[in-house]
Amino acid sequence: MKKIALTIVGALCLLACTETKTEKKKSSQGAMAHSVGKINELSVVIDNDLWKGKLGDTIRKYFGAEVPGLPQEEPLFSMRQMPKTAFSGLARKNRTFLQLNKGGENNFQVLTNKFATPQVGYVISGKTEEDVANELIKNYETIVAKFKLVETKEKQTRIRKSLEKIPQLPEKLGINLDIPSAYRIAVEEEDFFWIRKDIQHGSMNLMIYELPMNTISKDSNTVASIVKMRDSIGAVKIPTEEVGKFVTEQAYAPYLYETNLDGRFAFETKGTWEVKNRFMAGPFVNYAIEDKPNNRLLVLEGFVFAPSVNKRDNMFELEAIMKTITFN
C-alpha cells in the first residue's frame, strides 16, 4: 500500500503542474448543473457481480489504498458502487466517477463535465474482466491524481466562500493564504504563526514560519534534517505540559516527496507527531518551500489532534488551504 501511495503522490504533483483550463460546456437547457457529492467520495459504476469478484478487488486495492501519513488506515476515496442501470439522474452528477464495462472493444476514455460541472469521469471497457483490470492497473495513477486534483480545487472553492482576513501574513511573512473564517490565530510573532480551528473531537492546526535557506540538506540526510527542523520549532512553539514535547514520532520514518507551491520547489513531508508520555499523537503534513527571492525557507505545517476519529478529510482540508499560498 505504501508503494501505491508514493506513486500516486508523484503522479498528482506532475498533473498539478500540467493542468490546463477545461472548456466550459453548455447543455441544451442552458448552464450545466453543478456537481454534487462529499469531498473524496467516488462513484464506481460497475455491475454487481463484477464488483464482488476480482475486478472489484482490483478497484478496492488501488482506489481504497491507505492514505499515507495517517495514524490509522483510511482509504483514498469513500467509494459508492452502483450498477449501470442506477447511474442516472442525481447519481450522474457526482463530481468524480469511474465506470467499468465488460464486453466490447478495449477502451479507455476520460469524460470532463459530461453530466455536471466540475466533473471528471473515466470509462474503461474490455472484452474480458481481465482486460478491464489490466487497463485499470495501467492507468490508475493518472486517474487517482486527476480525481485528487479535482477534489482539492472543489475544497478550495468551498473554503473561499467564507475567509478569515489575516493581513499580518502578507505584512510579516510576505504571503497570502485562503484561510476559512472558522480558524483563529492562537500565536502570532514576527516570523511565526499558529492558527487553529476547534472541532468536535479536538483541533485542526496550521503553523507558518520562516527559517534560513540552508536549514534542510538535499542529500541522504534530508528526512533527518526536516525532522530536526520541525521538532526544534514544535517543541518550543506548541505548548504542552512538562511531561513531553510536540515532536515527530520516532517509530516510523515520515514520507518524503518533492512538489511545487506557487512555482517554488518544496519538500512535502507526511508523518505522525506525538507528545511523549502523554499518549497524544496525530498526523501532520509539512511543506518546506524554497523562497529564493527572499533567501529563506517558508514552512507550512498542518496537523490534527482528534483522538479515536478518522482524520483523512481534516488533513485534506489543511492541505487544500496550504496549497493556496501565493508569495507577494
Which tens digits make up the pLDDT trace of 51-101? Answer: 999 999 999 999 999 999 998 899 999 999 999 999 999 999 999 999 999
Residue 211 identity = L
Residue 234 lies in a domain: yes
Cα 219 to Cα 96, 223, 285: the distances in Å are 39, 9, 20
What CATH number does residue 68 fall under? 3.30.379
The model's confidence at residue 278, banded by pLDDT at 50, 70 and 90, is confident
* Residues 249, 127 within the same domain: no
For residue 314, give every residue at least 6 positions away whose Cβ sits within 8 Å of its Cβ, in sequence order, or none.
Answer: 199, 204, 304, 306
Q: What is the pLDDT of residue 19?
A: 46
Q: What is the pLDDT of residue 265?
A: 97
For residue 125, give every residue at least 6 positions away whose Cβ sits within 8 Å of its Cβ, in sequence order, or none.
Answer: 100, 101, 102, 103, 104, 105, 106, 107, 108, 132
CA dist., res. 42 & res. 140, Å (int): 14
CA dist., res. 285 & res. 221, Å (int): 19
Q: What is the pLDDT of residue 25?
A: 42
Q: Would you call 159 helix, strand, or coil by DSSP?
A: helix
Residue 159 lies in a domain: no
* Residues 174, 236 within the same domain: yes
* Residues 107, 233 within the same domain: no
- What range does the domain containing 99 cover? 2-12+20-154
* Residues 202, 59 within the same domain: no
The model's confidence at residue 222, banded by pLDDT at 50, 70 and 90, is very high
For residue 306, give every residue at least 6 positions away whose Cβ sits within 8 Å of its Cβ, in sequence order, or none.
Answer: 199, 201, 202, 203, 204, 282, 314
Evaluate if residue 143 carries a pLDDT over 70: yes
Cα 67 to Cα 6, 9, 297, 306: the distances in Å are 10, 10, 27, 17
* Residues 149, 174 within the same domain: no
| Average pLDDT of every residue of the chain | 90
Dump pLDDT digits (tens) for 161-181: 999 999 999 999 999 999 999
Evaluate if residue 16 carries a pLDDT over 80: no
* Residues 144, 187 within the same domain: no
Q: Are 315 and 323 in contact (CB under 8 A)?
A: no
Of the residues 108, 125, 154, which one is the last residue of a structural domain?
A: 154
Q: Are 231 and 282 in contact (CB under 8 A)?
A: no
Q: What is the pLDDT of residue 251?
A: 83
CA dist., res. 173 & res. 29, Å (int): 48
Share of the chain above pLDDT 70, in %: 90
Which residues does residue 255 pair with via DSSP β-bridges, in sequence order? Answer: 270
Place of cell 512555482: 263
Residue 77 lies in a domain: yes
pTM of the predicted protein model: 0.88
Residue 162 lies in a domain: no
What CATH number does residue 274 fall under? 3.40.1000.10
Q: Are 176 and 270 in contact (CB under 8 A)?
A: no
* Residues 172, 146 within the same domain: no
Share of the chain above pLDDT 90, in %: 80
Cα 4 to Cα 76, 79, 102, 259: the distances in Å are 11, 18, 25, 18
* Residues 183, 319 within the same domain: yes
* Residues 191, 315 within the same domain: yes
* Residues 63, 135 within the same domain: yes
Residue 45 lies in a domain: yes
Element (H, E) at 272: strand 264-275
Residue 163 lies in a domain: no
Evaluate if residue 294 carries a pLDDT over 50: yes
Of the residues 121, 154, 187, which one is the last residue of a structural domain?
A: 154
Count of structural domains, the chain: 2
The model's confidence at residue 206, banded by pLDDT at 50, 70 and 90, is very high
Please, what sign has the CA dihedral across residues 85, 86, 87, 89? Answer: positive
* Residues 185, 315 within the same domain: yes
Residue 64 lies in a domain: yes
Q: Are 59 and 46 in contact (CB under 8 A)?
A: yes
Q: What is the pLDDT of residue 6?
A: 52
Question: Which of 28-42, 152-166, 289-303 is least confident?
Answer: 28-42
Q: What is the pLDDT of residue 28?
A: 40
Rg for the chain, CA atoms, rounded: 21
* Residues 180, 286 within the same domain: yes
For residue 244, give every residue at least 6 positions away whose Cβ sits within 8 Å of its Cβ, in sequence order, or none.
Answer: 274, 275, 276, 277, 278, 280
Q: What is the pLDDT of residue 247?
A: 93
Q: What is the pLDDT of residue 20?
A: 41
Alpha helices (H) along the chain: 2-18, 48-51, 54-63, 129-159, 168, 222-237, 312-322
Evaluate if residue 184 carries a pLDDT over 60: yes
Residue 76 lies in a domain: yes
In terms of phi and psi (left: phi > 0; alpha: psi -120 to 50; beta: otherwise), the region of 147 is alpha
Of the residues 103, 122, 154, which one is the last residue of a structural domain?
A: 154
